[in-house]
Amino acid sequence: MDITLYHSPGACSMATYISLLEAGAEFDVNIISLKTNDQSSPQYAAINPKKKVPFLVVDGNGLSENIAMQAWIAETWPEAKLMPSDNWDQKKALSHMGWFGAGIHQHITRHFKPVKFCANTDAHDDMKAKAKAMYMEQLALVDAELTNKTWFFDHYTVCDSYFFWIYNRGEGEGWDLSGFEHCTAHNARMRERQSVQKVLAHKAG
């Protein structure tokens, strides 16, 4: 299989990158730097018209959306056991990842780049405060979910890869997340993994 991950250091493509490493996949990483707006270039738009990372190309076929990539990785390398084995828990894993992608990610983006959503700069501080509050509200729910757990399920899964990014980016916004003790402990465990260390060290092309 010929696999290329389009990734920007620090972006949510970290989650896919971590899972590919956890699966033991062989793949290339093509850096699309969001810092230099590479995602908006005509060259990248020709590859991914949605102009976002992550984007995964497998034997010439492109796939967008983290949740789909995570499911594909788990199914393609079943021996890595990156999904729970129980049918209901598998759906719960999809539910968690849908939540991370659609229910939490947006609050980070609104705080990071309010100008993308609102031209009135006077409203930005208000928008950022609300985005932070909504992120914190969701993180409290994740913290409850992780209570007395090492991972989201009884072993490491793609949900853990994905949540690493959600927590990491929140910290990147300068938010103090230490009060979410279970999320914080999860993050510390994640940072011990070779996959995470490799992705964090991969800063540029």
Ligand X SMILES: N[C@@H](CCC(=O)N[C@@H](CS)C(=O)NCC(=O)O)C(=O)O
Which residue among 19, 57, 66, 135 contacts ligand X (CB under 6 A)?
Answer: 66
Are 166 and 198 contacting, i.e. CB atoms less than 8 angstroms apart? no
Residue 11 touches ligand X, criterion: CB under 6 A: yes
- Which residue in 70, 56, 63 sits closest to 98, CA to CA? 70
Q: From 49-57, 77-85, 132-140, 193-201, give the range in contact with ligand X by CB under 6 A.
A: 49-57
Residue 12 touches ligand X, criterion: CB under 6 A: yes
Report in angstroms how near the CB of residue 64 gets to ligand X at its nearest: 6
Are 196 and 20 contacting, i.e. CB atoms less than 8 angstroms apart? no
Which residue among 19, 20, 22, 52 contacts ligand X (CB under 6 A)?
Answer: 52
List the alpha helices (DSSP H) in the chain: 13-23, 42-47, 66-76, 87-98, 105-112, 124-145, 158-172, 181-191, 194-201
Residue 195 touches ligand X, criterion: CB under 6 A: no
Phi, psi of 52 (to 5 degrees): -130, 160
Which residue among 3, 34, 58, 63 contacts ligand X (CB under 6 A)?
Answer: 34
Residue 131 touches ligand X, criterion: CB under 6 A: no
Which residue's CB is nearer to ligand X, number 100 or number 180? 100
Radius of gyration of the chain (CA): 17
Residue 65 touches ligand X, criterion: CB under 6 A: yes
